[in-house]
Amino acid sequence: MIIEDNCLTLNQIADFLSERGYKVVPCKYCEEAKELLNEVLPDLIILDIIMPDMDGHDFCRWIRSNSRLKMIPIIFLTARDSIEDKITGLKIGGDDYITKPFSMDELLARIEVILQRMDSFHELSMRDELTNSFNRRYFKERLQEEIHRVKRTGRPFSIIIADIDYFKKINDAYGHCVGDFVLVQLVRFLQNHLRRTDLVARLGGEEFVLLLPDTSSGKAFLLMERIRKVLAETHFQYNDNDTVADITLTVSAGIACCPEHAEDAESLMTLADRALYSAKTAGRNTIKISIAAQKHT
């Protein structure tokens, strides 16, 4: 996203980056950018400071205060060239500061460096170290994005909290190495039985959460029921460090859907967790939809 009120500069940067394979969202005003940020989540923002409707510094502060947008890198591109201006820009959350007149090649190099660094950081920060599934922090980010999308489109999504039944018995019988092996294998199993658009994240221990875009609670139930049945019949073979094990396992799971049951992250997680508890108390190896869903059927 480029936010620049000078049409000549805006078009020059947009054309230069577009020719090099970047998708550009040009904006002449900060308020226009705010509106567009309800629809898009750019990888980087190039921001002028002297703008007709809103100071670029204030816009940067607004970005950094917004939980959905705060991690977007910002490059200030401005005629303000004093040391004080540069220090202020960096202190309020700018990732780089370029003064006008500037070199397009230098701008491109700085963009590429920031995006490469962000890619590396994001890949490391969003993954669970053991299973390579997504972690809780990244799941929370995606959950907020999906809630935001539902408010725009009305299309539902579901979350499923799944827990391995009697996981402690596996650790007690074979040791934690086999337990870790089971966690890794379960993630691979789930990923192989889900769509590419679905997400698997580890909440902690043997508990995982699935995020299923464009999926009602009923469809989520049918999908998870198929997974549950196939998983119960699958054997995971472990053979390492003089330990041989033929592992079978089952899961219990609880489902909640947005906007069917709730429209905020905390409520959705609470409802799915309660449904999981209901599945556990019903004898395990069971899938339950939130009670809130049953009121609508």
Q: What pLDDT was estimated at residue 293? A: 45
- pLDDT confidence tier of residue 296, bands split at 50, 70 and 90: very low
pLDDT in tens, 150-182: 999 999 999 999 999 999 999 999 999 999 999
Angstrom distance (rounded) from CA 239 to CA 297? 48
pLDDT at 175 (0 to 100):
92
- Of all residues in the chain, what percent carry a pLDDT higher than 90? 89
Per-residue CA distances from 236 to 110, 180, 248 (Å): 47, 12, 6
What are the tokens at 250? 């089952």
What mean pLDDT, rounded, does the chain reach? 94
Q: What are the C-alpha distances in Å from 231 to residues 127, 187, 210, 260?
A: 24, 11, 16, 28
The pLDDT tens digits for 81-107 are 999 999 999 999 999 999 999 999 999
CATH topology of domain 134-294: Alpha-Beta Plaits (3.30.70)
For residues 142 and 163, what is the distance between their CA atoms, to the nearest angstrom? 20
Q: Whole-structure pTM over 0.85, yes or no? A: no
Parts of the chain belonging to CATH 3.40.50.2300: 2-124
* Yes or no: domain 2-124 corresponds to CATH 3.40.50.2300: yes
Residue 295's pLDDT is: 42
What are the pLDDT digits (tens) for 31-88? 999 999 988 999 999 999 999 999 999 999 999 999 889 999 999 999 999 999 999 9
Residues spanned by CATH 3.30.70.270 within the chain? 134-294
Q: Is the pLDDT of residue 120 over 90?
A: no
The 3-state DSSP class for residue 161 equals strand
pLDDT at 292: 67
The predicted structure's pLDDT at residue 236: 96
Distance between CA atoms of 100 and 250, rounded to whole angstroms?
62
206: annotated active-site residue? yes
How are the residues of the chain apportioned to helix, strand and coil, as percentages rounded to the nearest 5?
A: 45, 20, 30
Q: How much is the average pLDDT of 208-215?
A: 97
Active-site option among 32, 39, 106, 206: 206
Per-residue pLDDT of 249-291, as tens digits, reads 999 999 999 999 999 999 999 999 999 999 999 999 999 999 8
Contacts of 222 (CB under 8 A, 6+ apart): none
d(CA 250, CA 182): 11
